[in-house]
Amino acid sequence: MLALAAVIVAADQITKTLVLASHSAARTTVAGTGFVNIRLVRNTGANGGIAAGYPVLVTLVAAAIAGVAIVFALRSRGRAMAICLAAVVGGALGNLADRLLRAPGFGRGAVVDWIHLGALNGSFNLADLAIQFGVIGFVIALLADEHSRRARQPREQVTAP
């Protein structure tokens, strides 16, 4: 679990660094195909810019969510759930690193979003993808686990009088 989370944090931070290094102040879109573009956005809020005026609050909530995800990952019942939660942890820690270490300062930093889909508003990054796919995978693994647990339980037989 720890290795997957570390790989996600590293990949997220490396891609953000590359985008920042290739970005010039004159351009907002660095490269793209029309549908998928690299567009640098500094997001001080949560997903979609929610609570953008409250970066310290967003940082505290992000840290709490990362902590809860770590606890759930350590207590997970199955491998699939642990892998999915590790992805959530890696994504949460990748974005939390931005909030803690990037300008304008500790706990007030902006998350670097850089992937933009032409048909949609908003931009995101690898950490966001890890969180989203991790949550979706966790829900699927949880439902599959519940389904298999019910299938293993003996069924009550109804007898006619």
- Location of structure tokens 């770590």: 70
List the structure tokens of 6.
């570390």
> How far apart (Å, rounded) are the C-alpha atoms in residues 74 and 64?
15
- Location of structure tokens 């609570």: 51
**Catalytic annotation on 145?**
no
Task: Report DSSP state, residue 33.
Answer: -
**How distant, in Å, are the alpha carbons of 59, 153, 154 from that of 160?**
61, 22, 19
> How far apart (Å, rounded) are the C-alpha atoms in residues 111 and 120?
19
Contact indicator for 116, 39 with CB cutoff of 8 Å: yes
From 14, 48, 17, 19, select the one nearest 32 (Cα to Cα): 19
**Catalytic annotation on 128?**
yes
Strands (DSSP E) along the chain, which ranges? 29-32, 36-43, 111-117, 123-124
Residues catalogued as catalytic: 113, 128
